Amino acid sequence: MKILVLHGPNLNLLGTREPGIYGNITLADLNADISALAKELGIEVAIFQSNSEGELVDKIQGALTTVDGILINPAAYTHTSVALRDAIAAVALPTVEVHLSNIHSREEFRSTSFIAPVALGQISGLGPDSYLLGLRALFSHTKKNRQ
């Protein structure tokens, strides 16, 4: 089983960007935690971060025949990107949306997700555990649907 992990814009600044909201974990630390869990679960992960909407769309489209699911933190694109939403819908792969912060307890505009309607589920507000729980959920869902 292979899962594509996508980090959206500004997540490359983790560890220095608004630590009161996002914590002190760096993207490298987060990726190491994701990779360690993937190894524990016996799955492969491909991890990619971009500040570019088009690059994220390209990765989603490219995933169609190469992965079993997508774990995505679309970051600010959550609230603006019809292109990401449409790409996820087009590939029809199980997708879990994750966020480090609780997007529903922040500014009002952050409560609307263009991704949630085409995702298997959404996990937010649990810091790095959002990713790990999302990966576990995606693994469980995919394994169950293979049987």
Query: What φ, ψ does residue 121 adopt, rounded to 5°?
Result: -170, 175
Residues marked active site are found at 22, 99
Residues 88 and 117 sit within 8 Å (Cβ to Cβ): no
What are the helix (H) ranges across 42-127?
A: 53-62, 82-91
**Gap between the terminal Cα atoms of the chain:** 13
